[in-house]
Chains A and B, each alone.
Chain A
């Protein structure tokens, strides 16, 4: 229960950052925080009381409880997608900096600079 609240709080921190900050890099950081909060939430939702990692390596006692493997698989893919989109976001930021010499979104007004 308390861990879910903390994950949601982390998500809200990222949301606050996106709404308040004006620097593109900080906006990207806010987005990443939100993304990782969602990943954390999924992994926590797949936890089972006293569960171990779902890897059967021979010397497990019979009747061992495993955590849910499905959220782990989904989060694994989500992390890699997050990496790709973050790289894309950063390259947009690089292009914007080349064109406007600033990361401040308030100063990026003209479309044809």
Chain B
């Protein structure tokens, strides 16, 4: 009982701490300086239609690199904890509908994932979202196939190569353009076309491949550990 009281006190204390966040905030109608600069400069300087992509890949590219690293470390941790074992038989074999539908849908979902990460600079989407969509396609395949061989060596290879290529594009930006991960390495191209806005589609493709393969290997480890 006294324990419950302390818990409630702690929650109430946290609520008191958070009051300034609530009261000092309100939806204004103007952007602050940083955001206004991003919205105005991104289409002109970088040629992106999606401002969020410009912020993620170029303006705050270093943050994104750190985030990719965090995801890599988390994947490495999962791989370290859950060692690959012999594949157990599924508890219940998938039904006819699930296996047929899964095999029909899986390539379409992979295609959609590739669309999302390659059009990240034009439409809502990007490397992280595209990678997650690809991982869901493989999750569906894992659920619907009786035995799906996942070549973890190939996954590791794709992941390493795309991570290295991401870093290499960043360093090339340092040498040939304005700074680390500067996307103006390549010409901006025609505004609104697929091959435009410099290296942003390239970087997002690498990120998409890396995130996708990392998540697929996490799913594979979680599946085969039983």
Contacts and interface: CB of A to CB of B under 8 A. Distances in A.
B43 A56 contact: yes
A99 to B, nearest CB: 11
Nearest to B71: A84
Contacts of A80: 67, 71, 128, 132, 211
A50 B31 CA distance: 12
A8 interface: yes
Count class of interface residues, chain B: 35 or more
B26 A76 contact: no
Contact of A48 (B27, B49, B63): B27
A45 B63 CA distance: 20
Nearest to A92: B81
A16 B221 contact: no
A36 interface: no
Interface of A: 1, 4-5, 8, 11-12, 15-16, 19-20, 41, 44-50, 53-58, 65-66, 68-70, 72-74, 76-77, 79-81, 83-85, 87-88, 90-92, 94-95
Interface of B: 4, 7, 10-11, 14-15, 18, 21-22, 25-32, 34-35, 38-39, 43, 49-52, 54-56, 60, 63-64, 67, 70-71, 73-75, 77-78, 81-82, 123-124, 126, 128-129, 132, 192, 211, 214-215, 218, 221-222, 225
